[in-house]
A and B are shown apart, each in its own frame.
Chain A
Amino acid sequence: MSLTAITAEHVAFGATVRAEESARRIRAIDATLELVTLRDVRSISLGAVAGQAGTSRATLYRWFPGGRDELLDAALQTEMTRFFCALSTEVAQAHSVEETCVAFLLGAAQRLQPADSLATLLDEQGRGLRAPLTFDGLDQALRVGADFLWPFLGRWMDIASAKRAAELCVRVGLSYHFGVGPTVDLLDVTEVRALVSARVVPSVNLLCLQSQTRGSESHVDH
């Protein structure tokens, strides 16, 4: 399942509960996530998960016929759901464009720290955020982030502008997430606020103004 599909499905408020999800399946996923925080993902076997979940490998195979890969994928999907739900709650409470962007960058950074299970699982799939993203990896991260963020910015601007603003905000965040040299601590609210205020807000203001100008120009034509 692509990350974009996961976002689209899980960005709604509240957890998405699939009808066929059984308690045993959820326990297996939780057991997997417990192991992810305890040890190297590569060393997690189906047997280890079965032990942690208090069940048998045979039972696990019944719920996850795809084996270890399917189980890890399900665990990643669960963490993505939790990530976007928690982030939604925080971002929705923001009262301005600036605060929305700050809440998004801060909340995302807090939940994507290297030791967190979400970051670990993304790394394992090669979609990690340990090294600077480029090409497809960056493209995908931009789309997933912007797809999530734009409806929240849409409270203050038209959809087209919101999409552009969201992509810029995500891009700026990703640009400062990596690397050495002068960078911003995305876990520090003061630094994030300064970054958003200097590097995101002026651009968003300008693109909204342009959008309004174009809108009124087309009105004049009528």
Chain B
Amino acid sequence: MTTRAQRVAPHDVLAAAYRCVALRGVESTTLAAVAEEAGISRATLYRWFPGGREELLTQVVAWEHQRFFLALYEAVRNCTTLEEVMVQGLLEAHRAMATHEVLQMVLAQDPGLLAAALSAQDEPTRAQIAGFLLPYLEAHELAQGVDPLDAAAHLARLVLSYLGAPGRWDLSDPGEVAELVQIEFLAGVVPSSLQ
């Protein structure tokens, strides 16, 4: 007969930890609470996450971060042009972040934790976004001398920057986002429309 612990995988622990954070907040998400929620012993939890609570929470952030972006790519799946995918992508990402209750709660309770955990995600996410945008760039007429790979890498950096801090842009406004994409993302990438 298999025990409960043998049927639980580390992935399930991340889901359990996420539920703890969502229901009780960051501070109350202790290793004991997560172990109980996941149905495993604390010993097993330590074995899977030797770095303890810090490692666990960092991995939970990474896990949800990945889910967020996968959902985003899915949401813009039907966009056909570069402009469209960027505008819809930014609008949808902003909407998803603004309505993400757990994100907003963690931002309010422990912004330092989030910043630290996200910095490890920065490079892989950039690579992922760049990979996603590349086909759109290759299908689009580009300004002279622009390499699609370089442009994709650059756009990915900018996407993460604007999602982290929109500055003076209102990312809930389709008109502003269209203007933002045209001027600050694509001005040097697509052929100039200047008369």
Contacts and interface: CB of A to CB of B under 8 A. Distances in A.
Interface in A94-138: 126, 131-138
Interface in A171-202: 171-172, 174-176, 178-182, 198-199, 201-202
Nearest to B146: A198
A179 B153 contact: no
Contact of B165 (A142, A176, A178): A142
B194 A167 contact: no
Secondary structure type dominating chain B contacts: helix
Interface string B7-44: 00000000000000000000000000000000000000
Measured as residues with beta carbon below 8 angstroms from the partner, the interface class of chain B is 20 to 34
Given A176-B157, A178-B122, A209-B194, A134 B187 contact: no
Interface residues of A, number: 37
A207 interface: yes
Nearest to A171: B161
A153 to B, nearest CB: 15
B182 A139 contact: no
Contacts of B182: 206
A180 B157 CA distance: 12
Contacts of A198: 188
A180 B114 CA distance: 20
B165 A199 contact: no
Given A142-B167, A168-B184, A209-B194, 11 more contacts: A132-B122, A133-B164, A135-B114, A135-B115, A135-B165, A138-B164, A138-B165, A199-B188, A201-B188, A203-B187, A205-B194
* The 3 A-B residue pairs with the shortest CB-CB distance in the complex, in nearest-first order: A202-B188, A134-B164, A138-B165
Interface of B: 107, 111-112, 114-116, 118-119, 122-123, 126-127, 143, 150, 153-154, 157-158, 160-162, 164-165, 167-168, 182-184, 187-188, 192-194
8 contacts: A131-B115, A136-B111, A163-B168, A168-B184, A198-B188, A203-B183, A203-B187, A210-B183
Interface of A: 126, 131-139, 142-143, 146, 163-164, 167-168, 171-172, 174-176, 178-182, 198-199, 201-203, 205-207, 209-210
